[in-house]
């Protein structure tokens, strides 16, 4: 057990990257004292220990699952996780794969450490959150910002009388304030948020963060106080603690929850007022009138937000060939460029029937992407490219084997000389050096050599049959969700462009999903990561287009 992986992490942007280097250096010194061989170093920078969704940690777990790690070495258990449940899960996963956890602070981690230290780390997070909230509340009650900045204001950067940075102060941005008043006036006069956004984009007025204006940013959510039309800061009233955030144990993502109104903290900041009370009241009256319409009442009565939305075959995959933006539903059965319909920033405003687009994509998958000639060329080129990389690994292995043979020969000569009575200064050190190098080479050569990649010669026929079977299952409501997910896994994007009255769809797909569907045993061993393949082309990405009449 000598394959040791080091893990290091620091939490926030307030810390420095050198913290990672310090942790790694201390861990390497410990490994040298113990005689452990350090393989890879995994790290996560400016990522909280309260989540498992960290690239470095996930990569470490993948290596452990493949049997490439025997020991994880970290500065302390809280570097791996501060969440009690995540600590236990991490310990179980690594223990299952036979991986030992050792930290500089606690030594070898056992179930006792997981229970006690996990509880302490969880309490630390809770205490830290409480202290942070107390500090933010004090800033809010003093009339300063308790979080990010809002459109219409500039952040004040200055030092106080003690030379310390003052945080949370803002002043009105006159140009942006004029845009805010314009939005309020136009909405009060009867324009919809969508029309307001289209007008602002047509006049090339930069939106928040410099991006295009969107109707959702203007409309917002009344109960949550989000959106331009609901931001009470514009009438000189700073409201804080409307929401709280809890972590979903299934996904690890934060989910918002609205706090009771009595827990809200409200502070008057008259120097930050942009909109007068009369205009604000006009906007609120119009919002109330809209809420009272039969259409809105019917939508609210349906409680659509409680129902899981249906995922269609092309949801999130369609791209506009003119602006590169996504497509959204327009009506029940049609899709169109979101930037064209909502923002007015794209001239490709035509709508396309969903069923016709889905059938076209299935046709591309069945008939165009896997033509026998193209597949044969792809198989040859992909196998050659991957096997070339593995040939390099094989050559490196051969060099290691040759070096080991030479070392063994030299050791045999020294052993014979010692047996004959030879005693010279430095002989012991030379023997130890050669024996140590031989042990290192033995460890490196313990892994099996890379096997050549072989793709099934009838991959195109297998793939076409699989896609046809999936296409038929789309008509069965019971297994349609599974079939949709399987087909969606083959598609990276579908780009729609219209030129001179003709519509063209260009489909891009991922090779791992393609091969994995048609040849599961090969798909498991490819491990090509983010590599993409074009059938019959050398940039390793498969792509094909089809001109359709819709």
Position 435 confidence tier, pLDDT thresholds 50, 70, 90: confident
| Domains of the chain with bracketed CATH | 3-126 (3.40.50.1390), 171-306 (3.90.1750), 367-371+456-548 (no CATH)
H/E run at residue 77: helix 77-80
Phi, psi values for residue 321, rounded to 5°: -70, -15
- Rounded Cα distance, 507 and 545, in Å: 6
Enter the DSSP assignment of 250.
T
- Predicted local distance difference test score (pLDDT) of residue 505: 80
Contacts with 56 (C-beta within 8 Å, 6 or more apart), sequence order: 7, 9, 42, 43, 44
- Rounded Cα distance, 370 and 380, in Å: 14
Q: What percent of the chain has pLDDT above 90?
A: 12
The rounded mean pLDDT for the chain is 75
DSSP SS3 for 237: strand
- Rounded Cα distance, 504 and 497, in Å: 5
Instruction: Write down the residue that tokens 């659509």 correspond to.
Output: 304
- Rounded Cα distance, 40 and 229, in Å: 52
Whether the predicted pLDDT of 84 surpasses 60:
yes
Task: Between 394 and 50, name the one with better pLDDT.
Answer: 394
Q: How many contiguous H segments (helices) and E segments (strands) does the chain have?
A: 18, 20
- The most confident of the ranges 18-22, 117-121, 264-268, 373-377 is 264-268
- The most confident of the ranges 213-227, 270-284, 400-414 is 270-284
- Rounded Cα distance, 304 and 293, in Å: 17
Judge whether 3 and 39 are in contact, CB under 8 Å. Answer: yes
CA dihedral 91, 93, 94, 98 (to 10 degrees): 120
Token code pair at residue 240? 């804080």
DSSP SS3 for 255: strand
- Predicted local distance difference test score (pLDDT) of residue 355: 82
Task: Between 10 and 510, name the one with better pLDDT.
Answer: 10
Contacts with 153 (C-beta within 8 Å, 6 or more apart), sequence order: 170, 171, 172, 173, 176, 233, 272
List the beta strands (DSSP E) in 34-113.
Answer: 37-45, 71-74, 100-103, 107-108
Judge whether 100 and 1 are in contact, CB under 8 Å. Answer: yes
Whether the predicted pLDDT of 377 surpasses 70:
no
Token code pair at residue 425? 């200064």
Whether the predicted pLDDT of 550 surpasses 50:
no
Express each pLDDT in 407-433 by its tens digit: 888 888 777 777 766 667 677 777 778
Whether the predicted pLDDT of 536 surpasses 70:
no
Express each pLDDT in 141-174 by its tens digit: 777 776 678 899 988 887 777 777 777 788 899 9
Model pTM score? 0.52
- Rounded Cα distance, 471 and 246, in Å: 40
- Predicted local distance difference test score (pLDDT) of residue 297: 81
Interhelix angle 55-65/84-96, rounded to 10 degrees, is 30
DSSP SS3 for 9: strand
Judge whether 76 and 103 are in contact, CB under 8 Å. Answer: yes
- Rounded Cα distance, 327 and 319, in Å: 6
Instruction: Write down the residue that tokens 């042990």 correspond to.
Output: 439
Q: Are strands 352-353 and 334-337 parallel, antiparallel or unpaired?
A: antiparallel
Token code pair at residue 340? 């064209």
- Rounded Cα distance, 401 and 407, in Å: 10
What is the average pLDDT across 344-367?
78
State CA 247 to chain mean position distance.
16
Express each pLDDT in 470-493 by its tens digit: 566 666 666 566 666 666 666 777
DSSP SS3 for 213: coil
Judge whether 245 and 223 are in contact, CB under 8 Å. Answer: no
Contacts with 96 (C-beta within 8 Å, 6 or more apart), sequence order: none
CA dihedral 338, 343, 349, 353 (to 10 degrees): 30
């Amino acid at each position: 057990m000598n394959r040791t992986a080091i893990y290091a992490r620091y939490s926030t942007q307030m810390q420095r990257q050198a913290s990672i280097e310090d942790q790694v250096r201390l861990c390497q010194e410990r490994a040298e004292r113990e005689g452990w061989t350090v393989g890879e170093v995994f790290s996560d920078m400016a990522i909280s220990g309260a989540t498992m969704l960290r690239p470095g940690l996930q990569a470490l777990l993948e290596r452990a699952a493949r049997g490439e790690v025997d020991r994880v070495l970290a500065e302390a258990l809280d570097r791996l996780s501060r969440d009690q449940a995540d600590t236990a899960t991490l310990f179980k996963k690594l223990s299952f794969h036979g991986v030992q956890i050792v930290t500089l602070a606690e030594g070898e981690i056992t179930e006792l450490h997981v229970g006690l230290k996990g509880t302490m780390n969880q309490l630390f997070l809770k205490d830290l959150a409480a202290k942070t909230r107390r500090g933010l509340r004090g800033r809010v009650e003093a009339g300063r910002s308790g979080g990010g900045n809002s459109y219409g204001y500039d952040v004040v950067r200055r030092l106080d009388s003690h030379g310390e940075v003052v945080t949370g102060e803002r002043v009105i941005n006159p140009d942006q304030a004029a845009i805010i008043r314009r939005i309020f006036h136009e909405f009060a006069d009867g324009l919809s948020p969508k029309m307001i956004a289209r007008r602002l984009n047509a006049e090339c007025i930069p939106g928040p963060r410099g991006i295009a204006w969107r109707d959702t940013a203007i409309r917002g959510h009344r109960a949550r106080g989000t959106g331009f039309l609901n931001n009470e800061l514009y009438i000189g009233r700073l409201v804080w603690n409307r929401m709280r955030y809890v972590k979903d144990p299934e996904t690890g993502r934060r989910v918002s929850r609205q706090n009771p109104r009595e827990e809200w903290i409200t502070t008057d900041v008259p120097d930050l007022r942009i909109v007068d009370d009369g205009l604000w009241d006009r906007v609120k009256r119009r919002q109330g009138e809209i809420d009272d319409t039969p259409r809105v009442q019917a939508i609210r009565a349906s409680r659509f937000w409680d129902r899981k939305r249906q995922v269609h075959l092309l949801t999130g995959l369609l791209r506009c060939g003119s602006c590169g933006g996504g497509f959204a539903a327009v009506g029940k059965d049609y899709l169109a460029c979101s930037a064209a319909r909502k923002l007015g920033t794209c001239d490709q405003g035509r709508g396309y029937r969903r069923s016709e687009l889905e059938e076209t994509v299935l046709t591309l998958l069945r008939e165009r992407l896997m033509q026998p000639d193209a597949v044969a060329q792809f198989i040859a080129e992909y196998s050659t490219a991957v096997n070339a990389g593995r040939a390099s690994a094989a050559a490196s292995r051969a060099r290691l084997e040759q070096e080991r043979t030479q070392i063994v020969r030299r050791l045999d000569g020294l052993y014979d000389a010692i047996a004959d009575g030879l005693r010279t200064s430095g002989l012991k050190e030379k023997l130890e050096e050669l024996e140590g190098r031989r042990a290192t080479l033995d460890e490196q050569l313990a892994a099996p050599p890379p096997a050549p990649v072989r793709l099934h010669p009838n991959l195109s026929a297998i793939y076409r049959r699989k896609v046809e079977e999936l296409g038929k299952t789309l008509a069965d409501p019971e297994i349609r969700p599974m079939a949709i997910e399987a087909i969606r896994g083959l598609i990276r994007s579908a780009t729609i462009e219209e030129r001179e009255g003709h519509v063209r769809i260009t489909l891009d797909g991922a090779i791992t999903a393609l091969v994995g569907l048609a040849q599961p045993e090969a798909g498991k061993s490819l491990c090509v990561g983010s590599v993409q393949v074009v059938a019959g082309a050398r940039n390793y990405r498969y792509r094909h287009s089809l001109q359709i009449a819709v």
